Homo-oligomer: A and B are copies of this chain.
Amino acid sequence: MNQIITISREFGSGGRELGKRLAETMGLAYYDYEIIKGIADKSGLALAYVNSIVEHHMTEYYPIRIGRSFTVVNKPVTETAVFKAQSELIKELAEKEGGVFIGRCADYILREKRPVRIMIYADLKSRLLRCREKAKSGERLSDEEMRRQIIAVDKRRSRYYEQYTGQKWGVKENFDLCINTSGVKIKEMIPGLVEYMRIFEN
């Protein structure tokens, strides 16, 4: 079976870039936004809705319509359905050919397959800098607005993760390796990491 690597990451820490480069260099499949699309297909829910739950964890803005009235009673059921579809899909993909999985509780969902669990984090200054570099040219958030966005995204990720795993998000004990990307070029980390991953091969 091919290696399974899960990447949990703080917003703006470069975890996505690291995962992508790692997958490319190791010749592994890379699963990120593909998962959202797959869940939508699997669950029959609208892509935008699945995205809002899995990617942005913004379920509070999506009351469910039952008959003529909006209600929140059924919300957890839908959320749970999404999480179930997500779990099944991630398991299937991992089973098929392994790969690098970004976020989406994959570390927890795949725990029985003993994936290599990596956590990527960085100080706020570095995260602001990375977000600034990646921001679309039309985007003109102030540093303070961006800082607030970073904190808000992580808060949602943390809440979502804890709700579905019962584990605290980002705690080092739940990972095999925690990497601080502050002031470091992601690209330069790859050769050492690829070599390090060999210890998990067997």
Contact = CB atoms under 8 A, between A and B. Distances in A.
Interface residues of A, number: 27
Contact of A199 (B176, B178, B184, B198): B184
8 contacts: A119-B172, A121-B173, A172-B178, A176-B179, A177-B180, A192-B194, A192-B196, A195-B196
Interface string A184-202: 1100110111111111100
| Copies of this chain per assembly | 2
Contacts of A24: none
A49 interface: no
A101 to B, nearest CB: 18
Nearest to A175: B180
Interface in A145-202: 170, 172-173, 175-180, 182, 184-185, 188-189, 191-200
